């Protein structure tokens, strides 16, 4: 991997973890394409990092192939794919309706699968590449009231491991970062849900899940993503790294 000048695609790149990843990759010399549904937020990030914004709604299965083709046509071949786009909705099983299940699977699993299918074989033909999937420690363990989310993240972990083995001899590595609760808007929504349901301080409740008694930061997630990219990381594949202050331990 020759990182300076290589093209990276970061989905969900308009805010939060995705924005932090885009900034970290750009600081490392990559040309970063950010994608997502909020065109205004994407343009702001792209301007700040000297990158490119290509909006796409990856909840539509067909959008993944179109996005990959647009990046290849307008920017160049993708060397680094970061599947960060995702949603997190919680509900007891009895209230987890088909719509919640389908939305979660479409964005958290199917979008990553479709982008990998569109991008990874070409990476292999060129002799290498990097894929980093943003899973969750909910892909390594279970949480109550999040059956759809946990199932989707377990599926993403399984996809990561399967593709890592399939492409092990190609020079393409496929890994996942599995954060605990991160200090983002999504984390704030989780904290608000806890506060409404229990009357407790939601942020304190989330922080207490970690032995470090804190939320992770987007920049820590971005650093973990970056660590999979250099040539010296070529032996790291099929790994699903928990970034949760020791919670998974």
pLDDT in tens, 150-161: 999 999 999 999
Amino acid 134: pLDDT:
98
**What is the pLDDT, as a whole number, of residue 39?**
97
- Cite the active site residues: 149
Q: How far is CA 70 from the centre of its chain?
A: 20
Q: Which among 21, 25, 5, 24 has a CA at the least distance from the CA of 13?
A: 21
- Distance from the Cα of residue 249 to its chain's centroid: 22
- Per-residue pLDDT of 103-117, as tens digits, reads 999 999 999 999 999
User: What pLDDT digit, counting tens, does each position of 60-104 carry?
Assistant: 989 999 999 999 999 999 999 999 999 999 999 999 999 999 999
List pLDDT tens digits, range 29-59: 999 999 999 999 999 999 999 999 999 999 9
pLDDT at site 187: 82
Find the mean pLDDT for residues 122-141. 97
State yes or no: pLDDT of 1 exceeds 80: no
pLDDT at 188 over 90: no
Helix (H) or strand (E) run with residue 52 in it:
strand 52-53
Span 211-224, average pLDDT = 96
The position carrying tokens 């993503």 is: 225
Residue 164: band (very low, low, confident or very high) from pLDDT cuts 50, 70, 90: very high
Taking alpha carbons only, the member of 33, 83, 38, 34 closest to residue 57 is: 38
- Tell me the domains of the chain and their CATH numbers: 7-180+218-243 (3.40.50.720), 182-215 (no CATH)
**Confidence at residue 153, expressed as pLDDT on a 0 to 100 scale:** 98
* CA–CA separation, 121 and 127 (whole Å): 10
Q: For the segment 199-209, what is each residue's pLDDT rounded down to a tens digit?
A: 888 889 889 98
- Per-residue pLDDT for 198 more than 90? no
Q: How far apart are CA 249 and CA 245, in angstroms?
A: 9
pLDDT of res. 197: 81
């Amino acid at each position: 991997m020759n990182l300076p000048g290589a093209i990276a695609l970061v989905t969900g790149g308009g805010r939060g973890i995705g924005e932090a990843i885009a900034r970290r990759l750009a600081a490392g010399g990559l040309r970063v394409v950010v994608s997502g549904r909020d065109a205004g937020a994407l343009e702001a990030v792209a301007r700040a990092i000297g990158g490119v914004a290509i909006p796409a709604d990856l909840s539509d299965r067909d959008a993944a192939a179109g996005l990959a083709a647009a990046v290849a046509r307008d920017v160049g071949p993708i060397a680094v794919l970061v599947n960060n786009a995702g949603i997190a909705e919680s509900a007891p099983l009895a209230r987890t309706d088909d719509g919640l299940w389908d939305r979660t699977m479409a964005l958290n699993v199917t979008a990553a699968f479709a982008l990998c299918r569109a991008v990874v074989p070409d990476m292999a033909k060129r002799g290498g590449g990097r894929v980093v999937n943003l899973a969750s420690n909910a892909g390594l363990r279970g949480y109550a009231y999040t059956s759809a989310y946990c199932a989707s993240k377990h599926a993403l972990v399984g996809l990561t491991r399967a593709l890592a083995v399939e492409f092990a001899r190609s020079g393409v590595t496929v890994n996942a970062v599995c954060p605990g609760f991160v200090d983002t808007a999504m984390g704030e929504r989780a904290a608000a849900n806890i506060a409404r349901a229990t009357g407790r301080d939601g942020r304190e409740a989330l922080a207490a899940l970690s032995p470090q008694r804190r939320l992770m930061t987007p920049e820590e997630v971005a650093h973990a993503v970056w660590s999979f990219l250099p040539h010296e990381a070529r032996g790291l594949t099929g790994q699903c790294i928990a970034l949760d202050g020791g919670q998974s331990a």
